[in-house]
Structure 1
Amino acid sequence: MEKLLQINNIHTSFHTHVGEVQAVRGVTIDLYKGEAIGIVGESGSGKSITMMTLMRLLDSNGDIKEGEILFEGKDLAKLSEKDMEKIRGNDIGMIFQDPMTSLNPVLTIGDQLSEPLIKHKNMNKSEARKKVVEMLGLVGIPSPEKRIKQYPHEFSGGMRQRVMIAMALICEPKLLIADEPTTALDVTIQAQILELMKDLKEKLNMSIILITHDLGVVADVCTRINVMYGGIVVESGTARDIFYNSNHPYTWGLLKSIPNPKLDIKERLKPIEGTPPDLLKPPAGCPFAARCEHTMKICLENRPENYKINEGHYSACWLNHPDAPKVEHTYVRRDS
């Protein structure tokens, strides 16, 4: 398979009046053409900032300190703003977390969806309108000919989310980044949105990066999963690796904190105690050490290397060192 995207050792910081926030601290992720991968983790783990770095949509105090972002061989980290504008919305589309803050309240839906077609595809207004109506119908919005004349506040939450998906897909991008696309939606609409994304992925043969804290969502959509914590990827592998052969204590904690309806016996959910690290002063060692029940002295002093568990499965944990004490995995799914 051909790689579409390679994020290599990217570091992103924000300069504030209290110091430098090291939001992303050496993330490496790759993506193949036609593949869907997931990025999961708690709020503040660096998921969205990694993707905003990829899109070059950081705030004015944000800075890419190190690393490269290769998209079809081009390093997006080094492109000019003018060149990035040709890629955003055209080759790479993004569904943002909150559609109400991402849509312009004073422009009609039709005008907002037509803009990228006119800019990137050199369509006239009539051609763009026809394409917008077609795309709104594709994402399941009824009577699209009438709806294009309406404003964002005239749509329900689920319909606004569909509009955001239509906007991200309007130029048929090679890569779709979906940042919490089902947040704040009821379960019925969530299921419809996920089915829509999977369907469009097959129809358009595009790649997807799905950012979420919902492990059930990534299990349904993604073939590979990256688990982030404290600005780094602590474990990566196939969906089966993560759910059935997870290796990192943080991944175990995430899996313990979600219900498993297929178990015959009832188990009390166990939250991960403690709080995420302060990225103003990130820990020298493993970012999860302060909350981990298996912490050793080396965990506090040195960041672990990325150990290869098996082909395509990696875990940044000192427990994988040959001299580390043997710890039985504390979480294994039992619904296979």
Structure 2
Amino acid sequence: MDELLKVKGLKTSFDTHIGEVKAVRGTNIYLNKGEAIGIVGESGCGKSVSMMSIMRLLGSNGKIVDGEIIFNGKDITKFTEKEMETIRGNKIGMIFQDPMTSLNPVLTIGDQLTESLIKHKGVSKKEALDEAVKMLSLVGIPSPEKRVKQYPHEFSGGMRQRVMIAMSLICKPELIIADEPTTALDVTIQAQILDLMKDLKNRLNTAIILITHDLGVVADLCTRIYVMYGGLVVEEGTDEDIFYRGKHPYTWGLLKSVPNPKSDMKEKLIPIEGQPPDLFKPPVGCPFADRCDHTMKICMEKQPPLFEIEKGHKAACWLCHENAPKVESTLGGDK
């Protein structure tokens, strides 16, 4: 498969009045054309900041400290703001986290849908409006000719999210970044939105990066998953690797703390004790060491590399070292 995106050693920080927050500390991610991958982890683990770094939407106090973001063979970290404007909304679309606040309340849906099309494709207002109607129909909004003239407050939450998806797709981008696209929606609407994204991916061959803390969402849509913690990728692999052959204790903790969408058994949910690391002063060792039941001396002293378990499956845990003690996986099986 052709590689569309490669993030290499990405480090992103934010300057605050009390110091530098090292939000992303060396992330490596790749994505092939037409592929869907998931990035999961607790709030504050760095998943959204990683994607905002790709879009260069970090705010005035955010900066990419190190690393490369290779999109279609070009390092876009070196792009000027004007060059990035040709990428955002055109080559890379984004579905933001909250559909209730992501749409402008004083502009019609049609105005908001046509803006990027007119800017990037140079089409007329009428052509853009015709395309907006087609796109609303594509994402399952009834009476699109009428709806395109309405305002966001006239739409339900699920319909607004469909509008956000239409907006991200209207320029036919090669990549869509979906940041918690089912947040604040009830489970029935969540399922509809996920089915819609899956259908659009297959029909348009659009690559998707799905950011979420909901493992059920990634199980349904994504073929590969990255688990982030403390600004780092701590495990990566296929959905089968993560759900059935997970090797990092943090992955085990995530799976035990939420209903497993791929399990037929009823199991008691167990929360992960403790708090995520302070990214003002990140730990020198494994970021999960303070919360892990299997912490060794080396875990506190040295950050583990990503050990390759098998092709495509890696985990940043000292328990994966050949000289480490054998630990029984809490997912069933040996580590």
- TM-score between both structures, scaled by the size of structure 1: 0.97
Match of 2:30?
Answer: 30
Match of 2:299?
Answer: 299
Q: Please say if residues 257 and 269 of structure 2, whose CA atoms lie closer than 8 Å, have aligned partners that are also in contact.
A: yes
* Corresponding residue SS for 1:87: coil
Structure 1 unaligned blocks of 5 or more:
none
Superposed, which structure 2 residues align to 1:266-281 within 5 Å?
Answer: 266-281=266-281
Structure 1 residues 133 and 228, CA gap change in structure 2 (3 angstroms): same
CA–CA separation in structure 1 for the residues paired with 2:262 and 2:79:
49
- Give the CA deviation at 1:78: 0.8
* Corresponding residue SS for 1:202: helix
Structure 2 unaligned blocks of 5 or more:
none
CA–CA separation in structure 2 for the residues paired with 1:63 and 1:186:
35
Superposed, which structure 2 residues align to 1:167-246 within 5 Å?
Answer: 167-246=167-246
CA–CA separation in structure 1 for the residues paired with 2:10 and 2:253:
26
RMSD: 1.2
- Give the CA deviation at 1:265: 5.8
Q: Please say if residues 216 and 261 of structure 2, whose CA atoms lie closer than 8 Å, have aligned partners that are also in contact.
A: no
Q: Please say if residues 216 and 260 of structure 2, whose CA atoms lie closer than 8 Å, have aligned partners that are also in contact.
A: no
- Asked whether 1:6 is paired with 2:38, we answer no
Match of 1:312?
Answer: 312
- Give the CA deviation at 1:267: 2.8
- Give the CA deviation at 1:263: 6.0
Identity of aligned residues (%): 72
Structure 1 residues 263 and 310, CA gap change in structure 2 (3 angstroms): closer
Task: Give the partner amino acid of 1:107.
Answer: L
1:188-241 Cα offsets, whole Å, 9 max, x none, are 111111111011111111100000011011010000000000000000000110
- Asked whether 1:114 is paired with 2:107, we answer no
Q: Please say if residues 277 and 283 of structure 2, whose CA atoms lie closer than 8 Å, have aligned partners that are also in contact.
A: yes
- Asked whether 1:135 is paired with 2:172, we answer no
Q: Please say if residues 219 and 261 of structure 2, whose CA atoms lie closer than 8 Å, have aligned partners that are also in contact.
A: no
CA–CA separation in structure 2 for the residues paired with 1:49 and 1:284:
21
- Give the CA deviation at 1:84: 0.3
CA–CA separation in structure 1 for the residues paired with 2:211 and 2:254:
15
- TM-score between both structures, scaled by the size of structure 2: 0.97
CA–CA separation in structure 2 for the residues paired with 1:156 and 1:258:
28
**Dislocated runs of 4+, deviation >3 Å:** 260-266
* Corresponding residue SS for 2:140: coil
- Give the CA deviation at 1:101: 2.0
Q: Please say if residues 97 and 183 of structure 2, whose CA atoms lie closer than 8 Å, have aligned partners that are also in contact.
A: yes
Superposed, which structure 2 residues align to 1:39-58 within 5 Å?
Answer: 39-58=39-58
Task: Give the partner amino acid of 2:315.
Answer: S
Task: Give the partner amino acid of 1:235.
Answer: E
CA–CA separation in structure 1 for the residues paired with 2:44 and 2:145:
40
* Corresponding residue SS for 2:86: helix
CA–CA separation in structure 2 for the residues paired with 1:218 and 1:44:
18
Task: Give the partner amino acid of 2:113.
Answer: L
CA–CA separation in structure 1 for the residues paired with 2:226 and 2:149:
40
* Corresponding residue SS for 2:22: strand
- Give the CA deviation at 1:136: 0.3
CA–CA separation in structure 2 for the residues paired with 1:332 and 1:226:
21
CA–CA separation in structure 2 for the residues paired with 1:190 and 1:322:
42
- Give the CA deviation at 1:153: 1.1
- Give the CA deviation at 1:332: 3.2
Q: Please say if residues 7 and 30 of structure 2, whose CA atoms lie closer than 8 Å, have aligned partners that are also in contact.
A: yes
Q: Please say if residues 110 and 148 of structure 2, whose CA atoms lie closer than 8 Å, have aligned partners that are also in contact.
A: yes
